[in-house]
Chains A and B, each alone.
Chain A
Amino acid sequence: MKRLIELKVNGELHDVVVEPRRTLLEVLREQLGLTGTKEGCDAGDCGACTVLLDGKPVPSCLVLAIDAQGKDILTIEGVANGPELHPIQKAFVDYGAMQCGFCSPGMIITAKALLERNPNPSESEVRKAISGNLCRCTGYVKIIDAIMAVAAQGRRER
């Protein structure tokens, strides 16, 4: 039986009517029109669907929408500050960390959570953090470079 639930996405409250079996990924894309979060494997293994739930990166294809109530959900659409790109997004552009771009929303979300938790990661820590986000295009090198560059920039600013 469908339920009326309230989801807080990128700071905004949304009322949606959902069956219990709908995943957060489905609701974000199909009911809220937030198609920045991608469906890759739909089994939690590729990371394309990564969103932040109360600041923690999770595969949204494995979260039931009704379980996401009362939590702060951040999608890729909420990362930029209006027209101004987030430093991670800017670094992804500057360092050539995107080719087809399909993994990028998930990568950027995971990277954002990493740098908030650990502003000064080693390369090995970056690799571990993104080990649940698969990229078929870039070979990961530029992605890691971009994330390390943002960390370095943060150090210079501090």
Chain B
Amino acid sequence: MRVSNFEYLEPRTVQQACSLLAEHKGKAKVIAGGTDLLVMMKQRVCTPEYLVNIKRIRKLDFIDYGEKKGLRIGPLTTLSVLAEHPLVKESFKALSQAAASVASPNIRNLATIGGNLCLDSKCWYYNQSSLFRKGRAACFKRGGDRCYVVKGGKFCYALVAADTVAALVALGAEARIVSATGERTVPVAEFFTGQGDTLNVIGPEEMVTEIHVPTPVPRTFSAFLKESFRGSIEFGITNVAVAVTLDTGDSVCKDAKIALTAVTSGVVNAQKTAAMLKGKKIDAELATEVAKTAVSETRPVSSIWTSVYHRRAVIAALVKRATLQAVAEASR
């Protein structure tokens, strides 16, 4: 499989990159690690005329922490560097665990956090070679009129599968998005449209320049769990991230966040479920109850790999386990 043809543009600053994206609006794509984009180009799933290489832009690869400013991560930070960073492992555990679970160790040496945040939605029909896709009429994501995941579905059900997105939402992260005309900050919880084809709020002329995770409230603990058929390489069939803030004396939960990816066309920010943990001491019984609510709050879809019923069982198991794991961090 050859990569589709393109012209390679190599800006040296964010400004240059944005003006190139604006100039070739709709025909250009940002390339960082390229571990997802190049595969899609080999499959002819997307064939941008221009690739804007952002790897030559200095100061997009950083991990910075300050008590007040929180954790600032450059979009070019590779997942292996992020996963191994002692501070991230210590105080933003779910993010370290999520970064460490993406794909394989060698892919993580190229793949970036910015790329994982902007990862295209995944679907067994869509992410195939052009020969495979020729056998059927085009789906919504290909500009057609149907969805093969949900028969009779009215829109695209391709899944937001990125591992780190669940952790970023559970930790309250936001992304800085820049274009030639300005910049804006979007909470990761609001980054996705909820539909597989429109995917996220980033426009074709915009790029992510920073991911910011606010300083956690003291005694905040987090955990990330991924269920997939094999221990490596694959996207999860369910990703869960949980962050809990516990009281100093009696370990009563003061605040909680629960987020899931790989189960819907957006990120599930399970606020109703998380609220059930507040004001209570978390034990296995409560975690089991809460996990049931997570299933009803999520509304997962079937896929070729897992039925809705199986997925619901996995969601319940992972939400319970991740909650208890996060709480267990407190006694470490």
Please state if B39 and A44 are interface contacts (CB–CB under 8 Å). Answer: yes
Could you list 28 examples of A-B contacts with CB < 8 Å?
A: A20-B51, A21-B3, A22-B3, A26-B2, A43-B39, A44-B104, A44-B107, A45-B104, A47-B104, A50-B106, A57-B106, A58-B110, A59-B107, A62-B33, A62-B34, A62-B107, A64-B3, A64-B38, A67-B34, A110-B106, A128-B105, A131-B105, A131-B231, A131-B232, A131-B233, A132-B103, A132-B106, A132-B107
Of all chain A residues, the one with the shortest Cβ separation from B1 is A42
- Note all chain B residues with C-beta closer than 8 A to A43: 1, 39, 42
Contacts across chains A and B counted by CB atoms under 8 Å:
79
CB within 8 Å of A: which of B256-276?
Answer: none
Residues in chain A near residue B34, CB distance under 8 A: 62-64, 67
- Check if B229 is an interface residue, CB within 8 A of chain A: no
Of A22, A45, A58, A64, which contacts B109 at CB under 8 A? A58
- Given A50-B106, A59-B106, A63-B110: A42 touches B42 (CB 8 Å cut-off): yes
8 A Cβ contacts from A38-57 to B: 42-45, 47, 50, 53, 56-57
Q: Which residues of B contact A26 (CB under 8 A)?
A: 2
**Residues in chain A near residue B4, CB distance under 8 A:** 21
Given contacts A67-B53, A131-B105, contact A45 B110 (CB under 8 A): no
Q: Which of chain B's residues has its CB closest to A39's CB?
A: B1
A75 at the interface (CB under 8 A from B): no
| Min CB gap B100→A, angstroms | 9
Interface flag for A77 (CB, 8 Å): no
When distances are taken between beta carbons in the complex, the residues of chain A under 8 Å from B67 are none
Q: Which residue of B lies closest to A53 (CB)?
A: B109
- Chain B positions 143 through 172: 1 when the CB is less than 8 Å from some CB of chain A, otherwise 0: 000000000000000000000000000000
Task: Determine the chain A residues whose CB is within 8 A of the CB of B254 once the complex forms.
Answer: none
Q: Check A100 for interface membership: any CB of B closer than 8 A.
A: no
Q: How far is the CA of A56 from the CA of B80 in the complex (A)?
A: 10
Give Cα A23–Cα B3 distance, bound, in whole angstroms: 8
Choose from A58, A59, A62, A132 the contact partner of B232 (Cβ within 8 Å). A132
Task: Classify the secondary structure of B's interface with A.
Answer: loop
Q: How far is the CA of A93 from the CA of B109 in the complex (A)?
A: 28
Q: Does A19 contact B (CB under 8 A)?
A: yes
Q: Of B2, B55, B105, B233, which contacts A21 at CB under 8 A?
A: B2
Q: Which residues of B contact A110 (CB under 8 A)?
A: 105-106
Contacts of A149 in B (CB 8 A): none
Nearest to B110 among chain A residues (CB) is A58
CB distance from A39 to the nearest CB of B (A): 9
Q: Let me know if A58 and B106 touch, CB within 8 A.
A: yes
A79 within 8 A of B: no
The CA of A132 and the CA of B42, in the complex, are separated in Å by 20
Of the listed residues A1, A22, A43, the one surrounded by the most CB atoms of chain B closer than 10 A to its CB is: A43
CB neighbours of A50 from chain B (8 A):
106
Most chain B beta-carbon contacts within 10 A, residue among A66, A67, A133: A67
Q: Report the bound CA distance from A66 to B51 in whole Å.
A: 13
Whether A62 contacts B233 by the Cβ 8 Å rule is no
Residue A115 is within 8 A (CB to CB) of chain B in the complex: no
Interface 9-mer from B5-13, B182-190, B288-296: B5-13
